[in-house]
Structure 1
C-alpha cells in the first residue's frame, strides 16, 4: 500500500522489496537490511531508491530519500502511454503497451507499483527474462524515459506525422463518452417494475414464483373404504347319532 510522504508535494511511496544480509563475526551473526522503494506523485514524476541500514524502518527511510534525489519526469498522454515501448536493464526486459480508457494497469506487483507512481492508469505489460525486483523496476523506468509525444517528434524531424493508433483510441473513447452523456440526459427515468405476484395472467395462470418442493401440498391420501361387517360364522352341525 502506498505511503504518503509529503502532502505539499503530493509524493507517495511504495516498498518493492526488503532484503536481509548477515555477516558472521566472532560473537555470532550481524544482520543488515536493505530496502527498494519507488516514489512518485502519480502525475508524471517517479524515482527509484535503494538504502541499507541495521533496521528495516531506517533502510526504508534512506531508500525514500535516495528516490527523491533520483526523481525523473516521464511523458504520458491521457493516463496511458503515447506509444508502445520496451525497456531493458540487465537480464530483465519489459514491454509496455498503451491501452484504452478503463482497461487499468495489467501488470505484476513490481511493474504495477512503478507505473502507478508515475501516473499511468491504463496500460498492458509483458516481462521477459529475469524477474528480479531491482532489474524489473529499472527496466520499467528505462522504458518510461524513452517515451516521446507525436508533436515532439514532428518538431525534431520537421515533418507532419499521421495520427497514431493511440490517438484514434483516445478520440473514439471521447466520442463514446460524449454520446453516452447526451443519451443519458435525453432519456427518461426508467419506470419501477410492476409486481405481478398473485395476479392472473392472460392464460389463466397466476404470476409469481413456483412453489418449492417442500412447499407443494402432498397429495391427499384416499380414505380407506369402510370394512364390511363380518358375517356370523355358521353354527356347526351336530352329528346325529
Structure 2
C-alpha cells in the first residue's frame, strides 16, 4: 500500500483512498463492496475476500475493478490495479452532466441515466452514485432497475457511460449549433 492516504467520508461505509504521489493524474478510489467468500476444499473451507473498487479522477475518467485475495488489503490492491486497467473516458458538458439519456445493462441489472440541469446534483443510489461522482459528473438523474447487486450495477453504469456520444455528435444529429444544445 505504497503512497496511499486514507481519509474519511460523510458516509461511514465508504472509505476514500487518495494517491499521495505528486504525479500529474490524481486518482480517487472508493470501496464499493468487500465480501467474504468461501471455497470448500478437501481439507475444509478456504476463506478469502473479494473487493470491488471504483477509481476515477473526477474529470471524466472512471473504472471499476475486482480483486480477490486471502486478506482484505491484498484484495483491495488487486481491485485497484484491475480498475486502473479498465479506465474509460466520459465526455462531460459545461454543466458537468452527460449529453443525452443512456441505458446500460449488465447481467440482470439495468441502469438508466439522464442529464440534469445545473444545481440538481447527483440523484442516484448505491454503487451508481459512487461511479458517477468519481467520473466527475455533478448533475445527473439515475435509476437502477432489476437486480440490486452492487458489482453488476457499477458495471451497468460503466456500460451506460461507454455508450454516450460526444456533444458534437449529438448536435450534428439534431442539426443545431453546439452552443444551443444545452441552453
TM-score after normalising by structure 1: 0.63
Q: For residue 12 of structure 1, what is the aligned residue in structure 2?
A: 28
Distance in 2 separating the partners of 1:123 and 1:61: 30
Distance 2:102 2:79 in 1: 27
Tell me the equivalent position of 1:56. Answer: 72
Question: Is 1:167 paired with 2:176?
Answer: no
User: Paired residue for 2:61, among 45, 69, 77?
Assistant: 45
Q: Aligned-pair RMSD on alpha carbons?
A: 2.2
The number of equivalent residue pairs is: 166
2:134 is the counterpart of 1:120: no
Report which structure shows greater RCO (CA 8 Å, sep ≥6).
2
SS at match of 2:182: helix
User: Aligned residue for 2:111?
Assistant: 94
Equivalence for 2:155: 138
Number of the residue aligned with 1:215: none
Residue aligned with 1:127, SS = strand
Q: Which has the higher strand share?
A: 2
Instruction: Find the structure with the greater CA-based Rg.
Output: 1
Alignment of 1:22-41 (within 5 A): 22-25=38-41, 28-41=44-57
In 2: Cα distance, 1:22 partner to 1:167 partner: 50
Instruction: State the match for 2:7 in structure 1.
Output: none
Hey, what's the Cα distance between the residues in 2 that align with 1:160 and 1:114? Answer: 32
What 5-or-longer segments of structure 2 have no aligned partner? 1-14
Map Cα deviations across residues 6-45 of structure 1 (whole Å, 9 max, x no partner).
5422001011111211233455432111111111000001
Report the TM-score, using the length of structure 2 for normalisation: 0.82
Q: Is the 8 A contact 2:31 2:51 kept in 1?
A: yes
Change (3 A) 1:12 1:76: same
Separation in 2, partners of 1:26, 1:140: 39
Q: Name structure 1 gaps, 5 residues minimum.
A: 169-241
Partner residue, 2:5:
none
Aligned to 2:81: 65
| SS in structure 2 at match of 1:167 | coil
